Amino acid sequence: MTSNMKKLTITMAVLDILAIICFILFYAVKDFKYTLIATAMNTKTHQWVAYTFYSEEEVNKVLAADSYIPINEDVKLDDIVIDTKEKDSYDNEYDEQVLTRDGNNEDYKLINIKVGGYNAYLVAIYDPSKVRLVHADKFNVGGNPEKNRLIYMCPANGAKVCINGGMFVDYGTGSDIPMGYLIKDGKVIWSDHNGAGNLIGFNYDGKLMLVTATGEEAIKMGIRDALEFGPFLIVNGKTIQFNGSVGGYSRAARVAIGQRRDGVVLFLVTDGTHAAGPNMGEVTDTLKKYGAYNAANLDGGTSSTLVINGKLINNPKNIYGQRLSLGRKIVSGFGLVP
């Protein structure tokens, strides 16, 4: 066999192996299929990727699996009786982890956990009245300045602990333009529509409110600080039901917030990327395990950020899997403001 024939044979063998691997990934590995389709369809400029490898019927099946049945109940605020002190005994190990203080820190406790096999960071906030909306200094002034990163935004808002949350116009690197409602101190400080939205926030008693309403309606209901996102994951102890077996929303880094019946607020941020990480079902189950009675999804993907005392705690990554040492530029979130 000539040298050229050997090279051709080796090349054909390599191509055959790659074809087999691609076939297995695209058609036999369900999670890969769900991840690829969900990611492509959530990015309008890349929807062609999903249709290149899968039929319209397969794409629609995955999109249906990512859908959910909303919890049609109003939050029962009277069920939240704020008593966040340490106890003499605990119902389970998760209850103990949340309520036992980290040294003399009466403000919060960071608990390192795993969610869906990924590193995750759960922060227990002991005084729910101190959880406030944090946000960029200015909106829609052009560009997306460096100070819009949560690592700068958190101390600028006087907060010790912050997580990102809420929607914003995304030009690839973000922007300084929020989407939906932002409410601060009982006033709408931003809105790009006048309809009802999924509003996540706190009333003047420090109780987490999950309401579908306009900003003005939510303020009349007693909301002090809020942002718009979703879905609501837990309402009055009842968990969201997804239509598919993958747990909803495929896989990505996640950010969520919850509140226990004793009033303790839970910030949850997981590692991952825009296409790898826990699914929404795993996030919901984790919050439930740690006692969340009400909870909501705040954001996910590259934007997922946790900052404590001016330091980035989690590992946000861009679409290339590269760590963003300062986190991504965002617009809003929640913070512990002493």
Write out pLDDT tens, residues 86-104: 999 999 999 999 999 999 8
What single-letter amino acid sits at 89? S
Domains of the chain, residue spans: 3-65, 69-336
Q: Is 137 helix (H, G, I), strand (E, B) or coil?
A: coil
Is the separation of the CB atoms in 330 and 269 below 8 Å? no
Q: How confident is the model at residue 245 (pLDDT cuts 50, 70, 90)?
A: very low
> What is the per-residue pLDDT for 115?
97
Is residue 118 pLDDT above 70, yes or no? Answer: yes
Residue 98: the pLDDT is: 97
263-275 pLDDT tens trace: 999 999 999 987 7
Sign of CA dihedral 107, 128, 132, 254: positive
Q: Which has more confidence, 288 or 24? A: 288
Average pLDDT, the chain: 86
How far is it, in rounded angstroms, from Cα 64 to Cα 219?
Answer: 34
Which pLDDT score, from 0 to 100, does residue 46 have?
52
Q: Which two tokens stand for residue 86?
A: 């340490």
Q: Is 246 exposed, middle or buried (0-12, 13-18, 19+ CB in 10 A)?
A: buried
Q: Taking 70 as the threshold, does the pLDDT of residue 81 lie above it?
A: yes
Q: Assign 4 a pLDDT band (cuts: 50, 70, 90).
A: low
pLDDT of res. 22: 43
Q: What is the DSSP letter of 27?
A: I
Pick from 21-25, 67-71, 142-146: least confident: 21-25
Least Cα distance to 126 among 263, 280, 311 occurs for 263
